[in-house]
Amino acid sequence: MKLVSAKEMLDAAVRGHYAVGHFNLNNMESVRAFLLAAEEMRSPIILGVSGGTAKYMGGYRTISHMVQDFMDFLKITVPVALHVDHGKYNEALDAIENGFSSVMFDGSSYPIEENIAKTKEIVKLAHAKGISVEAEVGGIGGEEDGRISRGECADPNECRMIADLGIDFLAAGIGNIHGKYPADWEGLHFDLLGEIKEKIGDLPLVLHGGSCIPADQIRKAISLGVSKINVNTECQIAFTEATRKYFEDGKDKESKGFTPRAVLAPGLEATKAMCIKKMELFGSVGKA
């Protein structure tokens, strides 16, 4: 199976009232873990690559080749989209030229006019190659790749303006933040979600910061039209906790337990298990 655009899988999710998980790549183990989880669960999947991951893993070209070759090697038969996460303009261009099947251009830090102008450019270039486009209105709070934002709620009218540019799915801030949520977090703003949905119709909505949101809020967000949910932090924590346990249990001191593949195996399994748990919650199991 070749990498696919995320458009068809998300349009199907809108029609079927479920969400497709976007899982962030961090290293080779995460590529393997997510592909195996998707195949085992017969679920479509979106693999997200932040600017930091792109630098760490050798750039967009290396990553697209690695993921495609891995898919061929593992005989993956479910739809997989390889997607730029929170791309700056130049990152989105780089990925479009280098084998990605989907890109997010995050122009949320620009004034709306500039966000519109740049998003329009990306849509033109990406669609010419059959690549899907995610745009963003209203910054998502939290920290990602060293960029900290408090997060702001999206203006539904601005959502409409960006939706009209022909994008394939839209990320809108509704009180969600990246990373762990503070104890006094107010929760997702469902009224705002409803207003945005009214303005953008059947365009798939994206929920960033999908880690650590209580399951009932996730289900409600899906019922109100969210059809792509981004998860990174919880998979990272699962990986690190499993790795810590490996050392605490002294496994690295046993036999060949010191080899890097042995050290990383529990983290890989824990990442895969977390991915499967999220697919079950999002309702994407069996939808491939």
Phi, psi of 110 (to 5 degrees): -90, 160
* Of 11, 72, 85, 202, catalytic: 85
Q: Are strands 45-49 and 205-207 parallel, antiparallel or unpaired?
A: unpaired
Q: Which of positions 38-57 make contact with ligand 13P (CB under 6 A)?
A: 48
Q: Which of positions 172-201 make contact with ligand 13P (CB under 6 A)?
A: 178-179
Q: Can residue 230 be called a binding residue for ligand 13P (CB under 6 A)?
A: yes
Q: Can residue 208 be called a binding residue for ligand 13P (CB under 6 A)?
A: yes
Element of type H or E holding 113: helix 112-127
Q: Can residue 166 be called a binding residue for ligand 13P (CB under 6 A)?
A: no
- Residue number, 156 or 209, with CB nearest to ligand 13P: 209
Using a 10 angstrom Cβ sphere, with 0-12 exposed, 13-18 middle and 19 or more buried, the burial of residue 215 is exposed
With contact defined as beta carbons under 8 Å apart, do 230 and 24 qualify?
yes
Identity of the amino acid at 229: I
Task: Report the nearest approach of ligand 13P to the CB of residue 263 (Å).
Answer: 24
Q: Using CA atoms, how far apart are residues 285 and 277, in angstroms rounded to an integer? A: 10
Q: Which of positions 232-251 make contact with ligand 13P (CB under 6 A)?
A: 232-233
Q: Using CA atoms, how far apart are residues 235 and 224, in angstroms rounded to an integer? A: 25
Q: Can residue 85 be called a binding residue for ligand 13P (CB under 6 A)?
A: yes
Q: Specify the stretch interacting with ligand 13P by CB under 6 A; choose among 7-15, 149-157, 191-199, 205-213.
A: 205-213
Q: Can residue 68 be called a binding residue for ligand 13P (CB under 6 A)?
A: no
Q: Which of positions 3-32 make contact with ligand 13P (CB under 6 A)?
A: 24
- Residue number, 239 or 246, with CB nearest to ligand 13P: 239
With contact defined as beta carbons under 8 Å apart, do 25 and 82 qualify?
no
Q: Is 202 a catalytic residue?
A: no
Which residues are CB-contacts of 194 (< 8 A; sequence separation ≥ 6)?
224
Chain positions contacting ligand 13P, by CB under 6 A: 24, 48, 85-86, 178-179, 208-211, 230-233
Catalytic residues: 85
